[in-house]
Amino acid sequence: MAGSALRRLMAEYKQLTLNPPEGIIAGPINEENFFEWEALITGPEGTCFEGGVFPAKLIFPCDYPLSPPKMQFTCEMFHPNIYSDGRVCISILHAPGDDPMGYESSAERWSPVQSVEKILLSVVSMLAEPNDESGANVDAAKMWRENREEFNKIADRIVRKTLGIYIRE
Amino acid sequence: MPIIVLERLPLPNLKTYTGASVLALSACIYYATHIVKDPDWNKPKSDLDVSPSNNEDFINNNTNHSSPDDRTFSQFTGDTFSVMTKEPICVWIMINMAYCWLILIGRCVQKFVFGQLRVSEQQHLEEKFWNFVFYKFIFVFGVINVQYLEEVLLWCSWFSLLGFLHLLSQLGKDRFEYLSFSPTTPAWSHVKLLGLLGCIFVFSLFMFLISIFVGFFQGLNTFAFMSAEVILLGIRTLHVIVRYALHLYDICRDTNGSLSRDTATALEKRGPVIYYIELGFELNALIIDFVHHMHMLLWSNIFLSMASLVICMQLRYLFHEMQRRWKKHRNYLWVLNHMEQNYPMASAEEIAANSDNCAICWEKMETARKLPCSHLFHTMCLQSWLEQDKSCPTCRLALNIESPSDNRPESPEIQHNAPQPARRPLNHFFHFDGSRYVSWLPSFSVEVSQLPRLSRAPNSQLDAMARQVQQLFPHYLLPTIIEDLRVTRSVELTIENILDGRLNSQTLRESETISTTSSNVPLSILQSNVEQPDTSSSQNWDDINEENVENEDGIAVGSRFSKSPSEREQILHKRKEKLIQTARKRYVDKQRTPIST
């Protein structure tokens, strides 16, 4: 089982290396374990996360691609769809069987046709357009709705933190 | 290995422990020789049973011990040993030494084969160790209820050895699974691990022979008790070895590269064989474990004790495992059958026309099956996907599968078709969710409904409820609503979900033209509100996709996929650094521009 998963991950890694989407880099943290990847995601332009480079960890199950990987940001994040421990809550990462929130149609959930690239792209679009209805982080969702300015400030602080820039002008 | 546990407890480390054990043993030997040297010492030959592992120490002790000879050397050591076996303290010290040896051997094996253990492996070991100790304690003192110290010692030494092998086998399995995560493992580590597993297997065969031998004298029950664990050990180890061999075979095939058509079809055929091997191993292990526990429960007349409770719990767990495995197997067979009947093998032209790889494994298709939506997949890939979901992976077309596991009993249906005078849109609806109060209470719903019979008669409560919801929200698909209803089990909650936009709205399919004329639409504003976020987000998604396609060429220059793992790692690292640096630069530049202007 792990054999086919390994081959597929290798193929995806190759594809992501040869044709990387802009601002996205992903690959195994360590060649010894192909089932744990690190991804760097650049915050989409024109949004409050613009310019930041957010590291995230992807952990693949051994029956990948039948089951989705788990994704967790390893930097501090403040976003309606990201739990405070960094776990990402988007429908593409949910297996068709389980439905933690209880309201997603299976059409937008995981299928083996999806790939790391597609996951990362939808995370980018999630960063750009939070879905404040699935409240993985209720505080963030509330602030996003009610106090956008404050939200942007926090986002900017996080962006600077990921870049290692701490100067306040 | 017990070492890990020892490290956790406030116990001395291995060196001190070994030192102390050796010291105690030498003191003990000194004492014994002292006695033996005494001319008054007489030797009544009594056959005290000592755990077999003591022999090991004995041999060892000979080497570092020399004595002034009155008798021959072997006589003298024989005397010393018999003195030691009669002195309780000496016996305990020898047992301790035996364990010390076991631990040391374990350490050596770990150093040689595994190197540094990973955290998860350590946790597994610890868990397995305590589990084993717990169950064997129950077994020795609760089930067979040994009376004599010698017997206890015999059983303990047997189980110590067995547990030791069990732990090694578990460690081997964990390590194999870890190694199979990597495409590049040095052959040497494969050889070491396989060697260890082979040794464990041979040992288990050897122990099986011992149990036959003992059983020959002690009766069938003892044999059954002794052999069950040994057989389990053997099966588990063999299972890992077989999986390992298959994995290695796979890797070799990969490195050989190109697949001819013959090997591809051979692979397709190999799938079921592997599946049945796995099934055989798993079921066998479960059944033997189950029978073993059953035997314990029935044999020992311990129906009213803590031990029986523990065994019953274990039995229950094993039973559930077997049931689960069996259900999975039935599902497998069913899917296989369904595929054979409904999805034909694609013709060579179709495969040729479809230039894509299999969307599931991303590999080239030599043979493929065709779904009704004319998407092609490998048979094995499709099989394993259909086992868990009944839709086309590519287009999400719901396949008309009603697997045996699917018709799980819905909440018990009680339908009164009480005649009602007028057509009322609202039904009396009562829902009781027992599991909210006590876990074993059933949940059921009662509805007094008077629904217009539609073209397809709604055969279940859910269907009826779904149609009710759909009357209010005609633009939602029936399956979507049913899915939500399955979770909420109430019309009101589903409507709330829809109003809150938690349900994905989709346009009605042509096949589902259900009398929507009667539905009054005062909610149109809400609906448009609901739809908006969805469409906008999907549009955005497309935008990003397109953007990336445009930009791909620019980035692709210079990046390449190396064959050597270390080089790949380096390239990835460099790319990451570069990305962060450019992002940083861009950010700083952007901050500067508004200040300078």
CB within 8 Å: A53 and B182: no
CB within 8 Å: A51 and B363: no
Give the residues across from B433 on adjacent strands.
B443
CB within 8 Å: B560 and A17: yes
Nearest CA in chain B to A36: B181
Contacts of residue B500 in chain A, CB cutoff 8 Å? 133
Tell me which DSSP letter residue B391 carries. B
Q: Smallest Cβ distance to A125: which of B533, B544, B588?
A: B544
Q: Smallest Cβ distance to A25: which of B502, B561, B575?
A: B575
The minimum CA-CA distance between B151 and chain A, rounded to whole Å, is 45
Contacts of residue A102 in chain B, CB cutoff 8 Å? 484, 487-488
| Chain B interface disruption, residue of A108, A163, A166, most B CBs within 10 A | A163
Q: Smallest Cβ distance to A53: which of B181, B544, B580?
A: B580
| Chain A interface disruption, residue of B555, B562, B588, B595, most A CBs within 10 A | B555
Contacts of residue A35 in chain B, CB cutoff 8 Å? 181
CB within 8 Å: B182 and A40: no
List the A53-59 sheet strands across, edge first: A24-30, A33-42, A53-59, A70-73
Q: Out of A48, A62, A75, A89, which one is annotated catalytic?
A: A89
Cβ(B507)–Cβ(B526) under 8 Å?
Answer: no
pLDDT at site B551: 40
Residue B50: half-sphere exposure toward Cβ, Cα within 13 Å:
23
Nearest CA in chain A to B487: A102
Active site residue A89: yes
Cβ(B410)–Cβ(B462) under 8 Å?
Answer: yes
Cα B269-B271-B272 angle, rounded to 5 deg: 85
Q: Which helix (H) or strand (E) holds B433?
A: strand B428-433
Q: Which residues of B117-141 are buried (b: 16+ CB within 10 A; e: fewer)?
A: beeebbebbbebbeebeebbebbbe
CB within 8 Å: A6 and B504: no
Cβ(B238)–Cβ(B288) under 8 Å?
Answer: no
CB within 8 Å: A99 and B388: no
ipTM for the predicted complex comes to: 0.82
CB within 8 Å: A20 and B556: yes
Separation CA A65–CA A57 (nearest Å): 17
Cβ(B595)–Cβ(A169) under 8 Å?
Answer: yes
Structure confidence by residue, pLDDT tens digits, A55-112 = 999 999 888 888 899 999 998 888 888 998 889 888 888 877 655 555 556 567 888 8
Length of chain B: 597
CB within 8 Å: B361 and A129: no
Contacts of residue B556 in chain A, CB cutoff 8 Å? 18-20
Cα B587-B592-B593 angle, rounded to 5 deg: 105
Q: Which tokens belong to B345?
A: 């093998």
3-state secondary structure B75-93: HHHHHHHHHHHHCHHHHHH
Cβ(B144)–Cβ(B292) under 8 Å?
Answer: no
The minimum CA-CA distance between B95 and chain A, rounded to whole Å, is 41
> What percent of chain A lies above the pLDDT cut of 70?
89
Q: What is the pLDDT along chain B (597 residues), one digit of tens a residue?
A: 445 554 555 556 888 888 888 998 888 888 888 887 766 665 444 444 444 444 444 444 444 444 444 567 777 788 778 877 777 888 888 888 889 999 999 999 988 888 888 888 889 899 999 999 998 888 888 777 777 888 888 888 899 999 999 999 999 999 998 888 877 778 888 899 999 999 999 999 999 999 999 988 888 888 888 899 899 999 999 999 999 998 888 777 766 554 555 555 666 677 788 889 989 999 999 999 999 998 888 887 666 777 888 888 899 999 999 999 999 999 999 888 888 888 888 777 777 777 777 888 887 777 788 888 878 888 888 888 888 877 888 887 777 666 554 444 433 333 343 333 333 333 444 455 555 555 555 554 444 333 333 333 334 566 667 777 776 666 666 667 777 766 666 666 777 777 666 665 543 333 333 333 333 333 333 333 333 333 333 333 333 333 333 343 334 344 577 777 788 888 888 888 888 888 888 888 887 775 544
Separation CA A74–CA B308 (nearest Å): 48
| Chain B interface disruption, residue of A16, A92, A105, most B CBs within 10 A | A105
pLDDT at site B139: 86
Sign of CA dihedral B298, B302, B303, B308: negative
CB within 8 Å: A103 and B487: yes
